[in-house]
Amino acid sequence: LTREDLRTVTIGMEVCVDSVTSAQNAALGGAARLELCSSLSAGGLTPTFGLLKKIKQLVQIPVFCMVRPRSGDFLYSKDEIDLMCDDIQLLISGGSNGFVFGCLDSHGNVDRASCSRLVEACEGQPMTFHRAFDMTNDAFEAAKCVIKLGFSRVLTSGQQSTALKGSDLITELVREFDDRLIIVAGGGISEHNIAELLKLTNVREFHGSARAKLDSKMIFRNERSSMGKISSDDYSVEVASTAKVSRIVDVWRSHVKQKERMK
């Protein structure tokens, strides 16, 4: 994005999805963009080539791919950076419209060297520095760093457990960097708090999963065995809800119209 684009973009809601069903539901509900992951239950990991390819056949909105090889922290080895670069190249060939990633050093600074390698692998596609940003030791220095690296967006909860709790920092980041970096608010966003968050922070983009539980269609169920943790439920999945996305997007559209009337 050019600096002029950064001043004028009003993209609205990005929905994070990890399945074909979620992608279709989010697009139908009015999402402006998808963040495609696998394993949202682990915070989101790199999606497969096949998942991206199928979703690109089914939806018309942009799809940004998460690049995260494992759960846990964002301190990556050289081997992990190598495989992340390979994943980026493969996902470009699958039709990705952008990428979402972030690397830190052991002191909580943005890892410039590792990020630079990934930036180069992206071949000019738009990039979002993901919520590794919320684990940095200085949000303002981190923002300056990701701008220099070429990121156009940063996804943040304001370094708190939810975006609403972190709204003070998000507001400060928007005020300081809005003409150079799109601040995407994310973390616990729902139809019940999005209006307050928009009013407090003045963000132009926000991010959420808007999920609801979908019961399995399996008739036979072996309750004695589990595919993961003992407490896990193998007979339901969380998917993006078209209705939830639509209600959130409606609130955002009303907010935008109100701002336009006040100009």
| Whole-number pLDDT of residue 5 | 57
* Predicted structure pTM score: 0.92
Domain that holds residue 56: 3-216+233-262
Average pLDDT, the chain: 93
CA-nearest of 163, 173, 168 to 195 is 163
Q: Is residue 226 part of a domain?
A: no
Residues 31, 17: Cα–Cα separation, whole Å? 11
| Whole-number pLDDT of residue 3 | 46
Q: Is residue 223 part of a domain?
A: no
Q: Is residue 221 part of a domain?
A: no
C-beta contacts of 147-152 below 8 A and 24+ residues apart: 147/177, 147/180, 147/181, 149/110, 149/112, 149/115, 149/116, 149/119, 150/119, 151/119, 151/127, 151/181, 152/1, 152/6, 152/126, 152/127, 152/128, 152/181, 152/182
**Residue with structure tokens 């926000």?**
206
CA-nearest of 58, 1, 60, 53 to 30 is 60
Q: Is residue 225 part of a domain?
A: no
Instruction: Name, in order, each residue with C-beta under 8 angstroms of 103's C-beta and a sequence gap of 6 or more.
Output: 74, 75, 76, 81, 110, 111, 114, 115, 118, 132
* DSSP of 4-36: HHHHH---EEEEEE-SHHHHHHHHHHT-SEEEE
Q: Is residue 197 part of a domain?
A: yes
Query: How many structural domains are present in the chain?
Result: 1
| Whole-number pLDDT of residue 221 | 86
Residues 130, 5: Cα–Cα separation, whole Å? 20
- Could you state, in chain order, the average pLDDT of each consecutive group of 10 residues for the chain (263 residues)? 51 95 98 97 96 98 98 98 99 98 99 99 98 98 98 98 98 96 97 96 96 91 76 83 97 89 78
| Whole-number pLDDT of residue 107 | 99
What are the Cα distances from residue 149, in Å, to 81, 182, 241? Answer: 16, 14, 35
Q: Residues 176, 140: contact at Cβ < 8 Å?
A: yes
Q: Is residue 44 part of a domain?
A: yes
CATH of residue 104: 3.20.20.380
User: What φ, ψ does residue 65 adopt, rounded to 5°?
Assistant: -100, 130
| Whole-number pLDDT of residue 262 | 81
187: left (phi over 0), alpha (psi -120 to 50) or beta: left
Q: Is residue 13 part of a domain?
A: yes
